[in-house]
Amino acid sequence: MKIAMLSPISWRTPPRQYGAWELVVSLITEGLVARGVDVTLFATGDSVTKAQLSSVIRTGYSEDKEVDPKVAECLHIANCFERAGEFDLIHNNFDFLPLSYSRLVKTPVLTTIHGFSSEKIVEVYRKYNSHVKYVSISMANRRPDLSYVGNVYHGIAVEEFQLHEKPGEYLLFYGRLHKDKGVSEAIRVAQDSNKKLILAGIVQDQKYFRQEVEPHLNNQIKYIGAVGPEKRGELLGNALALLHLINFEEPFGLSLVESMACGTPVIAWNRGSIPELVDPYRHGAVVRSIEEAVAEVPRMATLNRARIRQHVVDNFSRERMVEDYIKVYEQIIKGER
């Protein structure tokens, strides 16, 4: 089985700090290679992989402002599809643009739909619905007007996250600092519960940060910037709870799984995939208001953190994810021949 793995090129694969899609692609790719699958990773030239690497872009356009995103994406996608005949399957993790190339090649194309950034892009998915195979990353992220060959939940390298059995003292926000991610809501929960809050992540909206976040920074509310893999586990594991109060329907929620792998419970809105990931009685709290979130904070210290981690081991490991994708690949390849 020869697989072409098409990664996004906003960041390196795997990312140095932020880059959820690139991280998932890396986990799939390295897991497949470990299983003996022949994989060529189409990603930035500085990507790190045990697969064969093919690149026409030196670095990600979010890391190098000299790179024009549209030009980079055009060359990157073309590089993969011009080599389509070398592979049994192209696994597209690069959103909707590669779909427009799919009818130009005979090689079957599988697209993991990591989320719908806009209702406008759904038109492209609809157009290629009968030609390209789609995988969802949660049942909540599925659309009734699209057909899916399977659902594959994301998995993580569980061994990179150690169990912290003792609850920490601070609440944690971990992700992009943007209105959509619920930073203001996390600050309100920390203030109303009289708990320290650490904000970790890249600032994606400078105006929002200046107006809604910066005025609240003090000894109680601290912003520490982006955190890479080397510090991620300690930051997550030493928290009392992760606050995930986002303002959109969650497609999956990788940070929730990473937090739970450390034994740290999650307080999240009841939106999108959250009920598929978090049992509110065992793994944290699924809430509908700031008041509910504040009321749940004290209970987080009473939860069995070993049980929370085991939930991730059983359901969201890299090995399970890779096995699920291999089954999907085999199904598609056998069906196409």
- Each residue's pLDDT tens digit, 101-150: 999 999 999 999 999 988 999 999 999 999 999 999 999 999 999 999 99
Q: Which of 246, 203, 245, 249 is nearest to 226 (CA)?
A: 203
pLDDT class of 337 with cuts at 50, 70, 90: very low
Secondary element (H or E) of residue 239: strand 239-244
Q: Looking at the domain covering 158-315, what would its CATH class be?
A: alpha beta
Residue 189 phi/psi, 5-degree rounding, is -65, -45
Closest CA to 200 of 161, 167, 243, 169: 243
Between helix 318-336 and helix 20-34 the angle, nearest 10°, is 80
pLDDT tens-digit map of 52-62: 999 999 999 99
Residues 6+ apart with CB under 8 A from 10: 19, 21, 22, 60, 61, 62, 69
pTM of the model: 0.93
At 39, list the tokens: 């994989």
Encoded tokens for 167: 């609850």
Nearest by Cα to 268 from 288, 282, 251:
288
CB 196 within 8 A of CB 295: no
Domain 2-155+317-336, CATH class in plain words = alpha beta
Q: In the chain, list all ranges with CATH 3.40.50.2000.
A: 2-155+317-336, 158-315
